[in-house]
């Protein structure tokens, strides 16, 4: 069923009154930029690959070359991708109200679209560290010219790994703390493009809801947030977010 103007208008009217907004995003917001989601039947990454053989420390230790090459192919797609109208609408909302983007994505597309306050819960495709984690904050320039897979840390010789959060690993403490703080403090939370089942990230929309924020969920398919959201705006982020934000700005957000 097409998403009604009435539903967009209702959600936009609430957004127009907001004092502080959190946008909680997942892989779906970047799908229209050509980046795969994880759990969609048939097309998500985990439909093609076993996450336990790719997104765990144990997998990396067992076959570092395989895992490194898989990440390198994904990072190539990420580098070539451009922000889509959904990312840009989120950035435009800052013209009217303070917005913190809490993203599970590692692609940096919110920042490239112009969002200025972005909390990355699951790391970043632009950062690397050595396996021992003694040397962090490395960039590609630190191992440029190496043809090893994976390259070696220039400082300790250990294997380099992507600075992303694998299953069973703790999220960056400062990022999860900030995410929980802004979730508690916001009065509107917009979730977009996430199944909302990966913890502790999934606590962010739940906490916002429990502390009284209005929750707007943007997703073409039902997710774990739609059940408690005030509005489930059913559709792709690249179509729904520009409509929602344009209407909220018209209403004087
Ligand atoms: C669209 C769209 C369009 C489509 N527009 N929308 C209970 C049981 C078993 C395990 C656990 C448990 N509770 C907790 C755990 C552990 C685990 C977990 O949550 N597992 C669950 C899956 C059950 N969590 C962890 O292991 C976390 N760490 C942890 O708990 O540590 C404990 C600890 C504490 C202290 C010390 C030590 C340890 C870490 C989780 C890390 C997740 N990592 C990944 C990979 C990141 C790196 C990489 O990119 O490779 O993060 S997994 C993957 O899932 C990735 C994502 O960020 C994350 C969330 O996925 P997301 O974004 O929701 O994507 P999808 O694909 O699921 O959904 C896409 C959505 O978009 C769909 O809804 C579509 O409909 C929609 N969509 N097109 C808008 N155009």
Residue ranges per domain, the chain? 1-35+83-122+170-253, 47-80+127-164
Q: Which of 87, 110, 122, 135 is catalytic?
A: 122
Residue with the nearest Cα to atom 45 of ligand 1?
166
At 80, is the secondary structure helix, strand, or coil?
A: helix
Catalytic (active site) residue 122: yes
Backbone torsions φ then ψ of 128, nearest 5 degrees: -135, 165
pLDDT confidence of residue 153:
95
Quote the Cα angle for 108-135-30, to 5°. 15
- What architecture is the 1-35+83-122+170-253 domain classified under in CATH? 3-Layer(aba) Sandwich (3.40)
Give me ligand 1 centre to Cα 197, in Å: 6
**10-residue block means of pLDDT along the chain (253 residues)?**
86 98 98 96 91 94 96 96 98 97 98 98 98 96 94 96 98 98 98 98 98 98 97 98 97 81
d(CA 137, CA 127): 6
Give me ligand 1 centre to Cα 30, in Å: 15
d(CA 79, CA 65): 21
Q: Determine how many CB atoms are found less than 10 A away from the CB of residue 70.
A: 17
pLDDT confidence of residue 1:
62
Which residue out of 37, 47, 172 has the highest number of ligand 1 atoms within 8 Å of its CB and is therefore the one to mutate?
37
Cα 121 to its chain centre, rounded Å, is 8
pLDDT confidence of residue 164:
98
d(CA 192, CA 200): 17
Nearest residue to 184 (alpha-carbon basis) of 15, 12, 16, 20: 20
207: left (phi over 0), alpha (psi -120 to 50) or beta: alpha
| Residue that the structure tokens 């929309």 belong to | 205
Which residue out of 35, 78, 167, 235 has the highest number of ligand 1 atoms within 8 Å of its CB and is therefore the one to mutate?
167
| Residue that the structure tokens 């950062």 belong to | 127
Model pTM score: 0.97
What separation in angstroms does the CA of 99 have from each of 24, 28, 216?
Answer: 10, 19, 14
Angle formed by the axes of helices 237-250 and 85-93, nearest 10°? 30
Give me ligand 1 centre to Cα 90, in Å: 21
CATH of domain 47-80+127-164: 3.30.1600.10
34 C-beta closer than 6 A to ligand 1: no
Angle formed by the axes of helices 203-210 and 173-185, nearest 10°? 30
pLDDT confidence of residue 3:
80
């Amino acid at each position: 069923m097409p998403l009604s103007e009435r539903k967009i208008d209702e959600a936009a009217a609430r957004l127009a009154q907001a004092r502080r907004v959190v946008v909680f995003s997942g892989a779906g917001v970047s799908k229209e930029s050509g980046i795969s989601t994880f759990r969609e039947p048939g097309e998500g990454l985990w439909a093609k690959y076993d996450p336990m053989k790719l997104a765990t420390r144990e997998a990396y230790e067992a076959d570092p070359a395989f895992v490194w090459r898989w990440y390198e192919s994904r990072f190539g797609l990420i580098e070539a991708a451009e922000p889509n109208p959904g990312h840009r609408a989120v950035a435009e909302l800052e013209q009217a109200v303070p917005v913190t983007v809490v993203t599970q994505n590692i692609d940096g597309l919110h920042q490239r679209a112009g969002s200025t306050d972005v909390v990355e819960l699951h790391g970043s495709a632009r950062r690397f560290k050595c396996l021992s984690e003694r040397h962090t904050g490395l960039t590609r320039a630190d191992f440029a010219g190496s043809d090893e897979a994976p390259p070696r840390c220039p400082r300790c010789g250990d294997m380099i790994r992507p600075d992303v959060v694998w299953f069973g690993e703790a999220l960056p403490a400062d990022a999860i703390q900030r995410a929980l703080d802004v979730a508690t403090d916001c009065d509107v939370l917009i979730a977009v493009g996430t199944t909302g089942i990966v913890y502790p990230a999934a606590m962010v929309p739940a906490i916002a809801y429990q502390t009284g924020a209005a929750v707007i969920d943007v997703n073409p398919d039902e997710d774990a947030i739609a059940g408690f959201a005030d509005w489930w705006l059913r559709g792709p982020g690249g179509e729904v977010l520009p409509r929602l934000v344009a209407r909220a700005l018209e209403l004087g957000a």
